[in-house]
Amino acid sequence: MKTDRDFPRVIISDKGSEWIRNGHPWIYDGEVISADAGIPNGSIVDAVSLKGRYLGSGFYSGKSRIRVRLLCKNANEKFDEAFWRRRITYAWNYRKTVMKDDIACCRVIFGEADGLPGLTVDRFSDVLVTQTLSIGIENLKDMLFPLILDVLRSDGQAVRGIYERNDVRLRKLEGLEENKGWYGTPENRETVTGIEENGVFYSVDVENGQKTGFFLDQKYNRLAVARIAEGKSVLDCFTHTGSFALNAAKGGAQHVTAVDISNDALLLAEQNAIHNGLADRIEFICADVFDYLRELQAGGSRKFDMIILDPPAFTKSRKTAGNAERGYREINSCAMKILPRGGYLATASCSHFMTHENFERMLMAAASDAAVELKQIEVRQQAPDHPILWNVPETDYLKFYIFQVV
């Protein structure tokens, strides 16, 4: 199919063409048969099949293994400012629909799931934090970022500026340098802001916090834990800045022990506990969670009614998924052995490469190790501001299970 544009062309293998027809937005380098000479890195190209059939258009990267990130399948799309404004507006309207009163603290743009591949935008009250992982978005950000601000401000949202958190190694795969700092020159350049989530208040350090400053995807999973925690003694492992611990205490937990290996994160968690008037019911311990759980299991003297396991991603590739599964199995088995019969376990994995099937198989093995049975209470995933596209498995990454140990 011919188009009325003059975009460079990339010819795709039959396998790659099938992937595109099935809805996947990435074309890997191994599926590129040939490409026009001299394509500028990050420019928009037309992807065509071996028979010359138009498949879609997207960002071209001459350095990344992801050679083309598809944007759309309209052969006549112009990719002008109006196109990008529509994409941003669609994303924002979706959040207003699914998040309702929670839009002051949510993920505004989730990359491919919002048709903006390689772009993450999180909102923390009056600050937007961006992460740009594709050369195509990087090239267009001087148009995109003002559009994002305009769309939100035109809707009455008080946003003072954009802070870029591009201090991630993945940028190097696109030939981009790591950096962080304010985009433009907002009047107020303070990098610590306050948010409210589930009735809990947090200080968020957008400059130094993990990822974009705070993990928003577990918002409603934390609320699910709070509903169960009332009157219980709770152990929150990998607490980071204390989000699950604070929700448990807010939900009426008798006492919460929050453990993390990062002393800096715990200092911020303690400040959050004080700010919420919960410091008298939360104990913070700086320790390696694996060692801490082993000691609890061996000692048998510390009793908890509920244990929360929310570790960082143990694997970021398929090659290390096996080792990660062993790590998940160990901490879950320890937790099941520490809990009394009738105790409660909330356990999560945020790695896409630890699939739902593998995670459930691991949980069954851990239960066998601990000689217990699991009574399922809830199976949850990420909050809807992190939408899952069924044709893009990479968008489906968070697993969250709540059990009673019987």
Residue ranges making up the domain that contains 173:
81-190
Structural domain ending residue among the three candidates 127, 155, 190: 190
Q: Give 97's DSSP letter.
A: H
User: Using CA atoms, how far apart are residues 331 and 345, in angstroms rounded to an integer?
Assistant: 11
Question: Do 369 and 242 share a domain, yes or no?
Answer: yes
Question: Do 338 and 271 share a domain, yes or no?
Answer: yes
Question: Do 265 and 138 share a domain, yes or no?
Answer: no
Question: What is the Cα gyration radius of the chain?
Answer: 23
Q: Residue 374 forms beta bridges with which residues?
A: 405
- Considering its fold, how many domains does the chain have in total? 3
Query: Does residue 315 sit within a domain?
Result: yes
Tokens 């696109």 belong to: 174
Domain at 46, CATH number = 2.30.130.10
User: Using CA atoms, how far apart are residues 307 and 234, in angstroms rounded to an integer?
Assistant: 6
> Looking at residue 379, what is its pLDDT?
97
User: Using CA atoms, how far apart are residues 332 and 364, in angstroms rounded to an integer?
Assistant: 10
Q: How do beta strands 32-35 and 200-205 pair? A: unpaired
Question: Do 304 and 340 share a domain, yes or no?
Answer: yes
pLDDT in tens, the chain (406 residues): 445 578 999 999 999 999 999 999 999 999 999 999 999 999 999 999 999 999 999 999 999 999 999 999 999 999 999 999 999 999 999 999 999 999 999 999 999 999 999 999 999 999 999 999 999 999 999 999 999 999 999 999 999 999 999 999 999 999 999 999 999 999 899 999 999 999 999 999 999 888 898 999 999 999 999 999 999 999 999 999 999 999 999 999 999 999 999 998 899 999 999 999 999 999 999 999 999 999 999 987 568 999 999 998 776 666 766 778 899 999 999 999 999 999 999 999 998 888 899 999 999 999 999 999 999 999 999 999 999 999 998 899 999 999 999 9
The residues, any chain, with a CB within 8 Å of residue 360's CB and separated by 6 or more, are none
Domain at 155, CATH number = 3.30.750.80
Question: Do 126 and 45 share a domain, yes or no?
Answer: no
Q: What is the pLDDT of residues 78-115, one digit of tens each?
A: 999 999 999 999 999 999 999 999 999 999 999 999 99
> Looking at residue 4, what is its pLDDT?
56
This model's pTM is above 0.85: yes
Q: Which of 1, 32, 194, 120 is nearest to 387 (CA)?
A: 120
Q: Which of 73, 68, 75 is nearest to 16 (CA)?
A: 68
Helix (H, G, I), strand (E, B) or coil at 158: coil
Question: Do 61 and 90 share a domain, yes or no?
Answer: no
Structural domain ending residue among the three candidates 72, 105, 120: 72
Q: What is the pLDDT of residues 202-252, one digit of tens each?
A: 999 999 888 898 999 999 999 999 999 999 999 999 999 999 999 999 999
- Compute the half-sphere exposure of residue 344: CA atoms within 13 Å on the CB side of its CA: 23
Residues annotated as catalytic are: 350
Other CB atoms within 10 Å distance of the CB of residue 154: 10
Question: Do 311 and 353 share a domain, yes or no?
Answer: yes
Helix (H, G, I), strand (E, B) or coil at 90: helix
- Compute the half-sphere exposure of residue 379: CA atoms within 13 Å on the CB side of its CA: 9
